[in-house]
Amino acid sequence: MALMRTITGPTALKRLSARQVETLAAEIRDYLISSVSRTGGHLGPNLGVVELTIALHRVFDSPRDTILFDTGHISYVHKLLTGRHDFSTLRKQGGLSGYPSRAESDHDVVENSHASTSLSWAIGIAAGRKLRGETDRHTVAVIGDGALTGGMVWEALNNIAEHRDLPLIIVINDNERSYAPTRGGMADYLASLRATQEYEHVLSWGKRQLNRTPLVGRQVYETLHGMKKGLKDIVSPQGMFEDLGLKYLGPVDGHDVEAMETALRRAHDYGGVVLVHAITEKGHGYDPATADEADRFHAVGVINPETGLPLELSGRSWTDEFSDEMVRLGKERDDVVALTASMLIPVGLQPFAERYPERVFDVGIAEQHAVTMAAGLSFAGLHPVVSVYATFLNRAFDQLLMDCALHRQGVTFVLDRAGITGTDGASHNGMWDLTLLSMVPGVRVAAPRDGQQVARMLREAVEVDDAPTVVRFPKGSVGEPVEAVRRSGTVDVLRDPVQLEGAAGEDRQAVDLLLVGVGAMATTALEVADKLFAEGRAVRVVDPRWVIPVSDDLVELARSARSVGVIEDSLVGGVAGRIGQALADAGVDVPVHAYGIPQEFLDHGSRGQVLDRVGLTPDAVATSLTARLA
């Protein structure tokens, strides 16, 4: 890595010869494979933008010129070229972020890893600088073809078309994939442009043959050249971007630094908005990441760099539990359909799609559209299951509220990665959903405590046909089932302070604390109860299962408690606030002690580290409750 170590910023990069640039690209690719295989991270996407990112920094003057990445997981090469060479702490607490980070460098601008936002950022920055008289500064947005499926991109392009004199460059990183292969009309259109590029390669071949075998070569070349206009009209009848008034350059080989630099310099000197279409290959230069299982290398754990195989065997995940139950439901009910937003594999819908391909709708990175489409499917007599990461539900709140809930449509939302996710940082923690959902009239929210409950509560959710339902669960491996000692109405009692003979009077047994564990936090609640029991406290631990709305059965259990504690992996007061209000409405005058995630953006780290940082560990909660119950 001798040459890479000398690149402490873009200025050093600009001094390299063409041969040195080629060497640098190889060193960066080797370094990414070596380092990310030890830490985990987004390997495939970054291998695909090595040459493209080098060309960007050789042409533009970051940070005076602003370079934005959509999404930010393709910023690893950018980090290396701006002097951040230690990837040993990538995505670890106190270490390098897996996304751009303003705290790390002036070269980083947009930290949010939610897709399809870069063009709105870009026109805002470029227009703002124009108003300030800074017209010699360029703004560059690098956006993948997957992110182009997001509706916000087209809102921005519509606006950009009105401001074509801005020094704004849009680089499409077209690798035919988001997480998995990009689908839809936009993907088809870009494919037509790629076909044009392939035709140009054939034409170049004809020219070479002209020099080698003049007679045959001339016939081939003249025939191809004569077909050129007609062929282009067939594969790309209209230049959509140029019809919007945007200068279009490409397609360009994104792995050819010289070709990329030429296109980017033309864009730089144009004096207005330019779109540069770069063709890249996700995982380029690393055979395991470009094979049939390339989707595995979008984001990897610790792997063997030689084989690409994982070194750490993970157990059965929460997502696996959902995935298997969806296949079973699909066999039993032909009205069950599934929707997702470019996350078919991560959210566990791939097996369902393989079994029932006509009943799956991958709409691209378009959560708003997915939710309203689900409302339409529900109206047509089907039961849609919308599966997304919990953090991405934020993007479709209005559609959940006004299209699903207002119209009482039976749509089930499955929120994967709910609560603290950890290593992906602030934008990926699924900590807002319960607070947002608590404002939606008629919604019913389930928080399963284990894998068995995921299956059971998914079944209960799809039985509801007159309101939206939600099933939320965390990231990672699912533990052993947490058995209930008994059921009190709809509430599972996980632990009682004493075992009484018979059922009569059990719920009226007075306790010091009714401790409510929301979803996966039920195991934390049980450990807290053990600690308080050792101090002589009588604690009843319950799992409401359905946390919104608050059940009358939970209210009745609270009547026999001197206080109530709620542990939830969402913003403080999400479920606890609803419980407190329900108790007040029922005239149950007991204090409610809430434990959740503080209202702040949380830096990356392991899930355990983040939970410890915010005080959601058994020791921290037990210590706090001991003081409060004194």
Is 145 annotated as belonging to a binding site? yes
Confidence check: pLDDT of 314 > 50 = yes
Q: Crossing angle, helix 18-39 and helix 257-270, to 10 degrees?
A: 100
Q: How confident is the model at residue 399 (pLDDT cuts 50, 70, 90)?
A: very high
Which amino acid would we find at residue 48? G
Smallest CA-to-CA distance from 144 within 46, 256, 248, 55 is with 46
Q: Is 34 annotated as a binding residue?
A: no
CA atoms of 585 and 603, how far apart (whole Å): 38
Q: Is 76 one of the annotated binding-site residues?
A: no
What phi and psi values does residue 429 have, to the nearest 5 degrees?
-65, 130
Query: What sign for the dihedral angle of Cα 468, 473, 474, 476?
Result: negative
The whole-angstrom separation of Cα 429 and Cα 510 is 37
Find the radius of gyration of the CA atoms of the chain: 28
Residue 212 vs residue 328, higher pLDDT: 328
What number is the average pLDDT over the span 581-590?
96
Distance (Å, whole) CA 490 – CA 546: 8
Residue 44 has pLDDT above 60, yes or no: yes
CA–CA distances in Å: residue 303 to residues 272, 297, 541, 607: 44, 10, 40, 20
Instruction: Identify the pLDDT of residue 307.
Output: 73
Is 281 annotated as a binding-site member? no
Q: Annotation-wise, does 115 bind a ligand?
A: yes
3.90.226.10, 3.40.50.720, 3.40.50.620, 3.40.50.920: CATH of 486-629: 3.40.50.920
Per-residue pLDDT band for 236 (boundaries 50, 70, 90) equals: very low
**147 assigned ligand-binding residue:** yes
Find the Cα–Cα–Cα–Cα dihedral 375, 113, 62, 153, rounded to 10°: -10
Considering only residues 212 and 137, tell me which one the structure prediction assigns the higher pLDDT: 137
d(CA 221, CA 542): 78
Tokens of 321: 């539990």
CA distance 181 to 344: 10
Query: Which phi and psi angles does 418 have, rounded to 5°?
Result: -75, 150
Measured CA to CA, the distance from residue 507 to residue 488 in angstroms comes to 8
DSSP classification of residue 419? B
Residue 546's Cβ-count burial label (10 Å; 0-12, 13-18, 19+) is buried
Q: Which residues are catalytic?
A: 282, 367, 395
88: enclosing H helix or E strand: none
Which of 611, 276, 186 is closest to 431 using CA atoms? 611
CA distance 477 to 389: 16
Per-residue pLDDT tens over the stretch 461-517: 999 999 999 999 999 899 999 999 999 999 999 999 864 434 445 666 789 999 999
- The pLDDT of residue 414 is above 50: yes
**Burial of 595 per CB tally in 10 Å (0-12, 13-18, 19+):** buried
114 labeled part of a ligand binding site: yes
Task: Provide the sign of the torsion angle of the four alpha carbons 241, 242, 246, 247, taken in this order.
Answer: positive
Q: Is 520 annotated as a binding residue?
A: no
**Hey, what CATH class is 2-297 in?**
alpha beta
Tokens read off for 131: 């108003």
Is there a common fold for 2-297 and 318-472?
yes
Structure tokens at 163: 């401001």
What are the C-alpha distances in Å from 130 to residues 110, 118, 127, 165? Answer: 20, 18, 5, 10
Q: Cα(203)–Cα(68) distance, rounded to whole angstroms?
A: 35
In the block, residue with structure tokens 């009484």 = 500
Q: What is the pLDDT of residues 85-125, one digit of tens each?
A: 999 999 999 999 999 999 999 999 998 778 899 999 999 99
What would the CATH number be for the domain defined by 318-472? 3.40.50.970
Tell me which DSSP letter residue 402 carries: I
Q: What's the whole-number mean pLDDT along residues 312-337? A: 93
Please check whether residue 395 is in contact with residue 368, taking contact to mean a CB–CB distance below 8 angstroms: yes
Eight-class DSSP state of 511: B
Burial of 563 (0-12, 13-18, 19+ CB in 10 A): middle
3-state secondary structure of 110: coil
Q: Reduce the DSSP state of residue 279 to 3 states and report it.
A: strand
How many Cα atoms sit within 13 Å of 557 on the Cβ side? 28
Q: How confident is the model at residue 218 (pLDDT cuts 50, 70, 90)?
A: low
Residue carrying the six token digits 């499926």: 149
Two tokens, residue 618: 């058994």
pLDDT for residue 235:
42
pLDDT of residue 210: 53
CA angle 586, 588, 592 (to 5 degrees): 115
Q: How far apart are CA 455 and CA 459, in angstroms?
A: 6
| Mean of pLDDT values over 36-44 | 89
Q: Report the pLDDT averaged over residues 154-181.
A: 87
What distance in Å separates the CA atoms of residue 576 and residue 592, rounded to the nearest whole number?
Answer: 7
**Whole-number pLDDT of residue 504:** 47
| pLDDT at residue 60, rounded to an integer | 97
**Residue 113, both tokens:** 């890893």
Least confident range from 60-64, 88-92, 95-99, 294-298: namely: 294-298
175 is in an annotated binding site: yes
Arithmetic mean of pLDDT over the chain = 88
Check residue 573 and give its pLDDT: 80
- Written as six digits, the tokens of 209 are 């043959």
The residue type found at 348 is G
577, 580, 582, 584: CA torsion to nearest 10: -140
Q: Give yes or no for residue 551 having a pLDDT over 50.
A: yes
CA–CA distance, 283 with 320 (Å, rounded to integer): 26
560 has binding-site annotation: no
* Pairwise CA distance, residues 568 & 431, whole Å: 10
**Domain chopping of the chain, boundaries:** 2-297, 318-472, 486-629
Rounded Cα distance, 465 and 128, in Å:
48
Nearest to 169 by CA among 229, 202, 125, 114: 125
